[in-house]
Structure 1
Amino acid sequence: MSTSIWIVIVVIAAVLGAIAGFFLARRSMESYLKKNPPISEEMMKSMMTSMGQKPSQKRLNQMMAQMKAQQNHK
């Protein structure tokens, strides 16, 4: 085979590898974030306490539900 055919094969393989890597990394990251949400209930409680609010369980549940709804909406 000539050199130009090998160059085309290498370029096509690199492009396909980059595309496959992107989708694999994206799926992996979505799975990780679903299992380990960035903000937990305890973190939210400490945030509200530091802002001078007394967090009730009802308010924490509302805020977590809003965050989950926003996360699922995207």
Structure 2
Amino acid sequence: MNWMILLWITLGIVIGIAIGFFIARKTMMSYLKKNPPINEQMLRVMLMQMGQNPSQKKINQMMKAMQKQQSK
């Protein structure tokens, strides 16, 4: 009888951890999609630091490439 209770408790904990992981993952992915960690201004500064003269076209291409990579 005691082993049955222990089994149910263990099973509940494992299922709870799995569900919590997937909920946290979905929430984090949604947050990162709405608030990307890098924006156009950051890209512009980064390119200027590397000695390149960033055009708006180049910035847009890089942003699209990052969004495409993130959606995979």
Q: TM-score, normalised by structure 2?
A: 0.92
SS across alignment from 1:52: coil
Counting aligned pairs with the same residue, the percent is 49
Aligned mates of 1:9, 1:66 — CA distance in 2: 47
Which sections of structure 2, spanning at least 5 residues, go unmatched? none
SS across alignment from 1:24: helix
Alignment of 1:1-74 (within 5 A): 2-72=1-71, 74=72
Residue by residue over 1:31-64, the C-alpha shift from the partner in whole angstroms, topping out at 9 and shown as x without a partner, is 1100111111111000001111111111101111
Task: Report how far residue 9 of structure 1 moved.
Answer: 1.0
SS across alignment from 1:9: helix
What CA RMSD, in Å, does the superposition of the two structures yield over aligned residues?
A: 0.9
What is the aligned residue count?
72
Task: Report how far residue 65 of structure 1 moved.
Answer: 1.1
Question: Which amino acid is the alignment partner of residue 27 of structure 1?
Answer: K
SS across alignment from 2:41: helix
